[in-house]
Structure 1
Amino acid sequence: MHRAPFGLLLAASALAAQTPPLVLPQASPRAQVAQTVGLTDITVTYARPSVHGRKVWGGLVPYGQVWRAGANENTTVTFSTPVKAGGVALPAGTYGLHMLPTAAAWTVIFSNESHAWGSFSYDPREDAARFTVTPVAAEALDRLEYAFDEVTDGAATLSLRWEKLRVPLRIEVDTNQVVVASLREQLRGLPRFSAEGWAGAAGWCVRHDVNLEEAQAWVDRSLEMKETFGALRTKALLADKRGDAAGAAALRTRAMAVATEAEVNNLGYALLGQGKVDEALDLFRRNVKDHADSWNAYDSLAEGLAAKGDKAGALKNYQQALGMVRAEDQRARIRTELAKLQ
């Protein structure tokens, strides 16, 4: 029988030892789902096992044993900022997710170890958070899935769905504090060199009633650089919050003196949205007086008059706008508004 040379066999053996495994489809494919809550990014990376006709709860996933909450490597959850999971505070970072299922309540575990294979080396001394949740019945699902439900600016429910069960994990974010910290960081970059950067940061804080003392310093910094409509309006709101009605009124008067047509128009629409129709009409009429060559000024006044119930005034101003505008899409829109009034 012919034999390969011994040296060739050694070389082949060494080559085989160095050859990486083939990449083939996995029985439990990898998946990733992400959600932004305010400015906080939450990302879940996991593998998706299939029911495949098996008994899952109390079978494939035994009760009373720590489970990897997925398949293969650790299921991981990454938070870009600090959060609360199940009411327990967690710093920003990546965590291994495990669960301890029972026939009733489940224990959810966030571990500081996120690189393990499954839960085989799970160590409770590495727990970052541990809390209890109650699974609920759900529509049948063959492949395990994570999804985000009930998303708001400050919270979301991360749900594990598999077989006929949903396991909800409530994640909460102090979005106001996250945004304030982000604004401070942003104002150390290019935005610090513009009046709009400082004014925008102050304006956000005032609208959300947070960090008002620092917001005052930010808007003053903006006004030192340039006196703008937005910054003066923001400073007026801060004066209102201090109970300084006279100071707020004076600041609003100064703001109107430097306002552009678009700024007045936008403020008018904001007031219209708040149901303050008469105040909005005052601004729309001001724009018509100051910008008589603008079709948009007449168009906005017409919309305000229509909201007031002044059909004749609305028709007159829509017709004026139609006679001035050249863009065909705007002409078609105004004709539609006229048809509604006629």
Structure 2
Amino acid sequence: MSNKRKLSGGFVLVFAILLTGLFATQALAQLQTPRVSPYSSITQRIGITDVTITYHRPGVKDREIWGELVPYGKAPGNPNFGSGNPHPWRAGANENTTISFTHDVTIEGKPLAAGTYGLHMIPGKTDWTVIFSNNSTSWGSFFYDESEDALRVTVTPQEAEHQEWLRYGFEELSGNSAVAFLHWENLKVPFKIGVNSTEIVINNFKNKLRSTPGFNWQSWNQAAFYCLQNNVHLDLAEKWVKKSISMNENANNRNLLGYILMAQDKKDDALQVFQENVEKYPDNWNVHDSMGEAYGKYGQKKKAIQYYKKALSLAPQNQKSRIEGILQKLEQES
């Protein structure tokens, strides 16, 4: 009997230890189960800048949202959790809503550095405050500290069609801007994001050309062409295309040099380059076309006609109608 009691007592002790370990393991494991407000994220590229918003999506579920579930102004603090102070809305559910930028941006015209921010909002009946906090890792807005603000902007909400599950999106996309928005229940809260795409691209070129892409002539040519296309940093474009020529001289990069010189109003230098191209690449229709364009720009219509006719005789079929149209116009003006 005593042995059975000893065995029974030992079993209880072992079971208790195992049970304690099991609960401890469960506490640490953080098993994944469906959440009432599911996780979501959205990324939009503006130029070459990526903007990513991560958030959780609460549902309306027949509740009054604005001014009720989400109060106007700051929400009262919880003395048992967080800082206990009144705080803005987390602009979602669960953990911090975050927004990330791969390059410096502007928000409603105000500068904001590249990085990841906690996104908070203070709703109002007419205007909303959108807050970008340097703290992006806390739970919701309960630990919000105004001293950690990176930027605040004021925006105006818009009435919108019913949206059951909170969502973020982007609209009015261009090469240099987009409007991000929060949409829930019957409101849309927009804020405009701006990027200086051209300067970002140029700075990216400067870095990339010091690495593997800098070993081929095409990269230098591409960078120079981008500058010409956007009419920026033409002095740098000239330097880059000359680097391309030094690596592999061809009709493509030499012709680009002529256009870059012409864009800088270096008339004589441009004409000289185009003339050299005609002599170096007499069977290339494009160099004759460019020579004609240069003479046309500088008012020498007879010479322009001469070179356009040569270009027409060499050009592929898909270029002939364009050149014929230019010739017709030049001949009418002569």
The TM-score with structure 1 as length reference comes to 0.77
Deviation, 1:229, is: 2.5
User: Residue 300 of structure 1 aligns with which residue?
Assistant: 318
1:301 to 1:163, Cα distance in 2 relative to 1, 3 A: closer
Deviation, 1:260, is: 9.7
Q: 1:182 aligns with which of 204, 209, 217?
A: 204
The SS at the match of 1:77 is strand
Structure 1 stretches of 4+ with a deviation exceeding 4 A read 1-4, 256-263, 279-290, 301-308
Deviation, 1:116, is: 0.9
The SS at the match of 1:50 is coil
1:142–1:163 Cα contact (<8 Å) kept? yes
Unmatched 5+ stretches in structure 1: 272-278, 291-296, 311-342
State the AA in 1 paired with 2:41. Answer: Q
User: Residue 19 of structure 2 aligns with which residue?
Assistant: 12
User: Residue 136 of structure 1 aligns with which residue?
Assistant: 158
Q: 1:104 aligns with which of 94, 113, 126?
A: 126
2:220–2:243 Cα contact (<8 Å) kept? yes
Task: Show the 5 A alignment for 1:25-174.
Answer: 25-65=34-74, 66-174=88-196
State the AA in 1 paired with 2:16. Answer: L
| Residues in 1 aligned to 2:181 and 2:308: alpha-carbon distance in whole angstroms | 48
User: Residue 330 of structure 1 aligns with which residue?
Assistant: none
State the AA in 1 paired with 2:116. Answer: T
2:39–2:57 Cα contact (<8 Å) kept? yes
1:70 to 1:260, Cα distance in 2 relative to 1, 3 A: farther
Identity between Structure 1 and Structure 2 (%) = 35
The SS at the match of 1:153 is coil
Q: Please say which of residues 19-28 and 122-131 is displaced more in the overlay.
A: 19-28
Deviation, 1:200, is: 1.4
User: Residue 332 of structure 2 aligns with which residue?
Assistant: none
Provide Cα deviations, 1:15-39, integer angstroms capped at 9, x if missing partner. Answer: 2211224322111111111111111
* Larger RCO, structures 1/2 (Cα 8 Å, 6+ apart): 2
Number of matched pairs: 295
Deviation, 1:91, is: 1.2
The SS at the match of 1:5 is helix
State the AA in 1 paired with 2:152. Answer: R
| Residues in 1 aligned to 2:304 and 2:162: alpha-carbon distance in whole angstroms | 53
1:98–1:110 Cα contact (<8 Å) kept? yes
User: Residue 202 of structure 1 aligns with which residue?
Assistant: 224
| Residues in 1 aligned to 2:216 and 2:49: alpha-carbon distance in whole angstroms | 26
Unmatched 5+ stretches in structure 2: 1-7, 75-87, 294-302, 329-334
User: Residue 258 of structure 2 aligns with which residue?
Assistant: 236
Deviation, 1:136, is: 0.7
| Residues in 2 aligned to 1:158 and 1:242: alpha-carbon distance in whole angstroms | 38
What's the RMSD between the two structures over aligned residues? 3.1
The SS at the match of 2:119 is strand
Deviation, 1:288, is: 6.9
2:91–2:121 Cα contact (<8 Å) kept? yes
The TM-score with structure 2 as length reference comes to 0.79
1:264 maps onto 2:273 in alignment: no
The SS at the match of 1:8 is helix
2:312–2:324 Cα contact (<8 Å) kept? no
The SS at the match of 2:144 is coil
State the AA in 1 paired with 2:91. Answer: A
State the AA in 1 paired with 2:137. Answer: H
| Residues in 2 aligned to 1:44 and 1:13: alpha-carbon distance in whole angstroms | 40
State the AA in 2 paired with 1:138. Answer: A
